[in-house]
Every structure is written in C-alpha cells, then in structure tokens.
C-alpha cells in the first residue's frame, strides 16, 4: 500500500515537472533605481516569453512611474511586433525631485496573434467577431490580475481558449524607491545659503560666535558635515516634533538630520526657507549650542541667550523661530 502511495506521489510530481519542462511562462519584471550621484530615476519594465510561446503570442509591456501623490510622471509601452526578440522592454528615465517616493508599475501581457476560425464554443458567433487563439489559457489571469514585487512568472495552465480581444493582461509587477538629495544638491543649497546670508547676519555671527567665526570657516564646516536624510516615507524617521531639521550636537562630528518638512512639496517653499534652515543647523554644528536653555545641561550655551542682545526673540516656542530670524536678516529687537 505504501509503495502504491509513493508511486502516485511520484507520478504526480513527474507530471508537474513535465509542465515545468514545457516552459510556457510569461515572465514579468519591473525595477526602479535612483542614481545617488545625479538623482536620475530609471524604471525598467519587461515582459519575456518562453520560446514555446513565441509562435502564438507577442510580448507586451506597459510601464508607468508615479510620484508620492499617485500622479503619473512617466509612462511608456513596448511590444515585440514581429516577435523578433521574444520580449518587450520599456526603460523610462528622468530627473527625480528630492523627497519623492517613485513607484514603477509594469503591466505584463501577451498578444494572441492567431484568429481561431473554429472556436470550440459554437455559441460564439464567428461572423460578428474574430476570436483569438489562446492555447495556454493566459486569459484565465485576466479576471483578477495580481501585482507582485519586482518579478513574477505566469505559467500558462491551458487548456486552449479563444478570446475576443487579442491583448491579454496577466498581471503586474512593481518596485519603488525614495529620491534623496544628492551630495551635489546639498552642496548647492549650502552655497546658496552662503550667498543669501545677509551681511548683517554675518556681522552678528562674527560678534556672537567668538573667536573662530568667519563666513568661510562657517560654511566650509557645513560643507563637510554628514547629513542624515529622512524624507517622507523613509524608514526609521526619528521623532521630529514638527521640526525641519536637527543637529546632533552631542554626537561626534555633529551630524545634521533633515526631516520630511525640509523636502520640497507641491506647494513649494517660502523663498530662502531651506537655506535658512541649513544656516540655523550650521550654527548648531559649528558651536554645539542648543536651541533653548536646558536645565540638564546648564553649561551648554543656547541660541536664546547667546543671540538675545543681537535681537533674537523666540516667540512661538518652536526652534523654527531662529530660521525665521535669519531669513529676516537677523534684525535687532523692536
């Protein structure tokens, strides 16, 4: 009895392996990559047909990229009209916007190329429509196409079907990534922060941050700072309490964290916002000072105390007041 069961199982396994060796798969893949040096986004969607399928189908792929808000920002389709390649591939590439999560989605399909003039189902009126030959029954996936991360293969289960429309969508694959600021973009923001810092702010800094402050020292120091980026959707975003950025003054090298508020939105920013935030954090980085007096660190200077005589007043209770004060040109107290 045991050997009988074993025979049944082996026979079933062999039957299944025969299906595999028949190699009648539609293979779909989608990848999305972002170049860390240039910020360019590259989405690649591909539908590949096993050779067995190439006689009766053509590969088809439709590729799109959406931004965080679900807007389609790039799209394209590709086919293999003469079946010369056995696959269809679409590559989309464009410059991404920092802080955006891009999602690429490839819709995979095959085009049935033969008209079946003798469908099994004689209720179909062949004079009204062409019926296309779907020998591996890929149309069975059309009812509820499923989306897979990056890759999937769809095995044509058969039996032969006829379909009204030649284009058969089997499912989709997807991939996504977040566009971070590139190093060169951060350097450009720092250069801009230096360019728009008002001469009065510069003089105030020189008066308060003694004895080492010079404009060049300050911004050169900011240029070599490590930036820890936390755009919207990034993993493990620290609790930011609504702040735009934070400097870890108690950590070696005083790295600067950039929180989701720092990144562009579709509404844009007030002029000089990011530059003022960077200068604000630059002061933390350069001096090690805190935003507010901390009773637990009574010896560590803070902005409220240090810049009080220069006119800085914190009225909102939030650290962003210092950035606003810089944007305004570090005015004296009214």
Partner 1 sequence: MRLLLASLLVILSASGNSALAQQATLSVVTPDKADAQAYRTLFRRALSYKKLADEADLAHTPKPHLRHVLATRYALSDDDSASLEKMAIAYQVAIKPIHDRTLEVVKQYRARFPFGVIQAGMDATPPPELAELQKQDDAVTLLYRDLLHNSMREENFQKLNTRIAADFGGRL
Residue 118 within binding range of partner 1, rule CB under 8 A: yes
Minimum CB separation of residue 18 from partner 1 in Å reads: 10
245 φ, ψ (degrees, to nearest 5): -160, 170
Does residue 37 interact with partner 1 by CB under 8 A? Answer: yes
Is the CB of 122 or the CB of 267 nearer to partner 1? Answer: 122
Do 170 and 110 touch, CB atoms closer than 8 A? Answer: yes
| Nearer of residues 68 and 152 to partner 1, judged by Cβ | 152
253 is an interface residue for partner 1 by CB under 8 A: no
């902005």: which residue's tokens?
A: 303
140 binds partner 1 (CB under 8 A): yes
Q: Which residue in 54, 101, 310, 323 binds partner 1 (CB under 8 A)?
A: 54
Q: Which residue, 144 or 333, has its beta carbon nearer to partner 1?
A: 144
Strand order in the sheet with 256-258: 227-229, 256-258, 245-247
Q: Based on CB atoms, which residue is closest to partner 1, 37 or 315? A: 37
Q: How far is the CB of 240 from partner 1 (least distance, A)?
A: 28
Among 75, 76, 83, 169, binds partner 1 (CB under 8 A): 83
Nearest to 77, CA basis, from 102, 50, 112, 46: 46
Contact with partner 1 (CB under 8 A) among 79, 106, 109, 135:
135
Contacts with partner 1: how many residues (CB under 8 A)? 64
Write down the least CB distance from residue 34 to partner 1, Å: 8
Applying the rule CB under 8 A, the residues between 150 and 169 that interact with partner 1 are 150-155, 157-159, 161
Rounded CA separation 225/258 (Å): 12
42 interacts with partner 1 by CB under 8 A = yes
| Cβ-proximal residues to 187 (8 Å cutoff; 6+ apart), any chain | 223
Contact between residue 173 and residue 151 where contact means Cβ atoms under 8 Å apart: yes
Compute the CA torsion angle 169, 175, 176, 177 (nearest 10 deg).
-150
**Which candidate, 256, 247, 262, 246, places its Cα nearest to that of 99?**
262
**Terminal CA-to-CA distance of the chain, rounded, Å?**
98
Burial of 231 (0-12, 13-18, 19+ CB in 10 A): buried
Length of the chain: 334
DSSP label at residue 302: B
Cβ atoms of 259 and 319 closer than 8 Å: no
- Asked if 46 touches partner 1 (CB under 8 A), the answer is yes
Is 264 within 8 Å of 99 (Cβ atoms)?
A: yes
Instruction: Work out which of 74, 75, 97, 115 binds partner 1, going by CB under 8 A.
Output: 115
Among 56, 261, 279, 323, binds partner 1 (CB under 8 A): 56
Binding segment for partner 1 (CB under 8 A), chosen from 47-55, 208-216, 238-246, 297-305, is 47-55
Residues at the site binding partner 1, with contacts judged by CB under 8 A: 5, 8-9, 12-13, 15-17, 19-23, 27, 29, 31, 33, 35-38, 40, 42, 44, 46, 48, 50-56, 83-87, 89, 91, 93, 113-118, 133, 135, 137, 140-141, 144, 146, 150-155, 157-159, 161
């Amino acid at each position: 009895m045991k050997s009988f069961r074993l025979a049944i199982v082996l026979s079933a396994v062999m039957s299944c392996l025969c299906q595999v060796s028949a190699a009648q798969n539609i293979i779909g893949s989608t990848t999305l990559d972002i170049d860390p040096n240039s910020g360019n986004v590259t989405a690649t969607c591909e539908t590949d047909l096993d050779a067995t399928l190439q006689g009766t189908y053509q590969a088809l792929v439709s590729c799109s990229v959406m931004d965080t808000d679900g807007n389609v920002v790039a799209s394209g389709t590709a086919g293999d009209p003469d079946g010369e390649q056995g696959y269809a591939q679409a590559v989309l590439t464009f410059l991404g916007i920092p802080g955006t999560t891009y999602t690429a989605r490839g819709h995979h399909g095959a085009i049935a190329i033969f008209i079946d003039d003798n469908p099994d189902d004689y209720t179909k009126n062949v004079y009204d429509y062409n019926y296309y030959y779907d020998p591996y029954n890929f149309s069975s996936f059309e009812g509820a196409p499923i989306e897979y991360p990056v890759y999937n293969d769809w095995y044509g289960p058969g039996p032969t079907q006829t379909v009204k429309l030649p284009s058969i969508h089997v499912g989709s694959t997807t991939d996504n990534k977040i566009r971070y600021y590139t190093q060169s973009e951060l350097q450009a923001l720092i250069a801009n922060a230096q360019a728009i810092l008002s001469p009065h702010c510069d003089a105030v800094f020189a008066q308060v941050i003694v004895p080492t402050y010079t404009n060049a020292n300050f911004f050169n120091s900011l240029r070599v700072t490590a930036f820890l980026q936390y755009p919207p959707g990034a993993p493990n975003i620290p609790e930011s309490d609504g702040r735009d950025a934070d400097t870890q003054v108690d950590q070696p090298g005083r790295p600067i964290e950039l929180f989701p508020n720092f990144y562009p939105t579709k509404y844009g920013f007030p002029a000089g916002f990011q530059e003022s935030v960077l200068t604000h954090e630059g002061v933390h980085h350069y001096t090690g000072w805190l935003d507010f007096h901390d009773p637990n660190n009574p010896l560590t200077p803070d902005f409220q105390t240090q810049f009080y005589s220069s006119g800085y007043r914190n009225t909102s209770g939030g650290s962003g007041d210092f950035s606003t004060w810089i944007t305004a040109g570090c005015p004296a107290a009214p």
